[in-house]
Amino acid sequence: MKILMLCELYIENLEYQENLLVKYYQKHGHEVTVITSTYDNVFDYYNDIHDNSKPQRILYDHGAKIIKLPFKFNYLGKIKKYTSIKKIVEEVKPDLLYIHDIMPNMFEMLDYKKRNPHVKMIMDYHCDYSNSANSWLSLNILHKLLRKYIYMNPIRKHISKFYPIVPGSVKFLKEVYGIPLSEMEVLPLGADTDMVGELKNQKVGKQIREKLGISEKDIVIFTGGKLTPAKKTDLLLKAYNEINDERLHLIMVGDADQYNQEYKKELLSLSDNNPNIHYIGWLNNKGVYEHLSASDIAVFPASQSIIWQQAIASGLPLIVGDTGEQSVQYLNEFGAIIELSSGNITKENIKKSIEQILYVENELSLRKELASKTAAKYLDWNHLINKTLSHVKTTS
């Protein structure tokens, strides 16, 4: 099957949804082309720092063709349109058109679909009330006027299925865009379960521990991502300091951007040069999995990211905080996750939750088993890709 994906960001060494889709589509014999932006740095993307003078270029990842295009216009980082993709669509001759969120160039895809009735179009969706529509202008002008009436409404009837990535996105699509529940299905972000298996077989976790001076008998907490106040990592460090267990190590993967250096200084101060606290810095996706494989549990006090799913896939029980619209209960069928509600994300509750998992007999081993069970059912892209292909019948 030929699949054409349209997205805003594709950086080869990251593990976002787009990257995993490409890897597993290609693995299962599909031919993938991705149209994306010329961003090469994830911090630049999130801070809307873009050099539009970068020329179009083509690269290959997992065997898929990645076409990076400059923007024709970029309105305040909210509505971005590439230069024409019509020629690309015609050359690819896709069976499936996969749109990542609302993008103006999707109408050039629609023109192709109308002339080729067998072609299906799907859209995944990442917005919810925690990351979007945080002001009257954003909700009523950007979403309800521009994106809904100009972009979504004309194309909606041509979308075979909407795939919100979390239940909060289901709610957002229903309330803001009027999409009925019957047209939606949650598509979890998933994780690279193949890589998890490879690293386990290679005993990479043991190698990482040896490198960091962590013995096999020690216990390791993992945390990470972009270091920002929204993640409340300071609360984890305070809880860790109070537990004061010399067998307990903390691995921190990630870093702060230029706007959050003061917060990073605060975290370093809380660490107080403790040799059991390991600041690793920013890693590619394989590096993240390698350090997860060396860990026992993962703690993320707030601000959801893909690393939450990566941790579960690595067999780690989670302690996470829901600051609103970010509940992971949809992944907690088997009880591998302790979730703190917004008002209960405190140093005391994080400490209590860590102690519950680590110091109650057999609790850690049980929750590790439950995490692996969760990953097999909800996070394996070998199976998740089938959701996105279920409506497609090719002519070949």
Q: Where are the domains of the chain?
A: 2-190+380-389, 198-378
| CA pair distance 97, 128, nearest whole angstrom | 23
Per-residue pLDDT of the chain (396 residues; tens, 9 = 90+): 999 999 999 998 888 899 999 999 999 999 999 999 999 888 888 888 888 889 999 999 999 999 999 999 888 778 899 999 999 999 999 999 999 999 999 999 999 999 999 999 999 999 999 889 889 999 999 999 999 999 999 999 999 999 999 999 999 999 999 999 999 999 999 999 999 999 999 999 999 999 999 999 999 999 998 899 999 999 999 999 999 999 999 999 999 988 999 999 999 999 988 999 999 998 988 999 999 999 999 999 998 888 999 999 999 999 999 988 888 999 999 999 999 999 999 999 999 999 999 999 999 999 999 999 999 999 999 999 999 998 776 544
| CA pair distance 17, 102, nearest whole angstrom | 16
The one-letter code for the residue type at 109 is: M
| CA pair distance 373, 282, nearest whole angstrom | 29
**Beta-strand relationship, 120-125 and 31-37:** unpaired
| Geometric angle at alpha carbon 325, from 320 and 329, rounded to 5° | 50
Strand-pair partners of 337: 318
| CA pair distance 269, 264, nearest whole angstrom | 9
pLDDT of residue 325: 82
Q: How many CA atoms lie within 13 A of 289 on its CB side?
A: 23
pLDDT of residue 394: 52
3-class DSSP assignment, residue 64: strand
CATH number corresponding to 2-190+380-389: 3.40.50.2000
Neighbour-count burial of 201, counting CB atoms closer than 10 A to its CB (0-12 exposed, 13-18 middle, 19+ buried) = exposed
| CA pair distance 226, 18, nearest whole angstrom | 19
Q: What is the mean pLDDT of the chain?
A: 93
| Matching fold, domains 2-190+380-389 and 198-378 | yes
CATH topology of domain 198-378: Rossmann fold (3.40.50)
As a whole number of Å, the CA-based R_g of the chain is: 22
Alpha helices of the chain — where are they, by DSSP H?
17-27, 42-46, 86-92, 106-115, 136-137, 153-156, 167-177, 193-201, 204-212, 233-243, 261-271, 285-292, 306-313, 347-359, 363-374, 381-389
Rounded to a whole number, what is the largest CA-CA distance in the chain?
A: 67
Provide the percentage of residues in the chain whose pLDDT is more than 90. Answer: 84
pTM across the whole model: 0.89
